[in-house]
Structure 1
């Protein structure tokens, strides 16, 4: 009886480690895969460039102390 419980626990741990390892591999592939544009496909989004609206003189709210 004790042997059956031990083999079930080991098998369950192996399944948990296998699923965790597969998830880690998929995350690494997504993180480190090249995201270069290919001919005939849309290019990936580039960096966002932040600009102030034309004619803005400063912040809309002035901070004063005291």
Structure 2
């Protein structure tokens, strides 16, 4: 009976992993909440880099 207990435990682990994967997929592909004024606009996030360093008189480097 030791073999059947090991198989049962392995099936339980696989079942819990499958449920977790299904929940993760559902959360990833669920629709976003709608804002009160209508649906939120979708688009890419704008990325801005740091400003270019400016040289100042009297600020010697090196």
The TM-score with structure 1 as length reference comes to: 0.56
Show the 5 A alignment for 1:3-22: 4-22=1-19
Give unpaired runs (5+ residues) of structure 2: 56-62
- How many positions carry a matched residue from both structures? 51
Root-mean-square deviation (Å): 3.3
Runs ≥4 residues deviating over 4 A = none
Other-structure match for 1:60: 53
Give 5+ residue unaligned stretches, structure 1.
53-57
The match for 2:60 is: none
TM-score normalised to structure 2 length:
0.59
Look up the match of 1:55.
none
1:21-36 equivalences under 5 Å are: 21-36=18-33
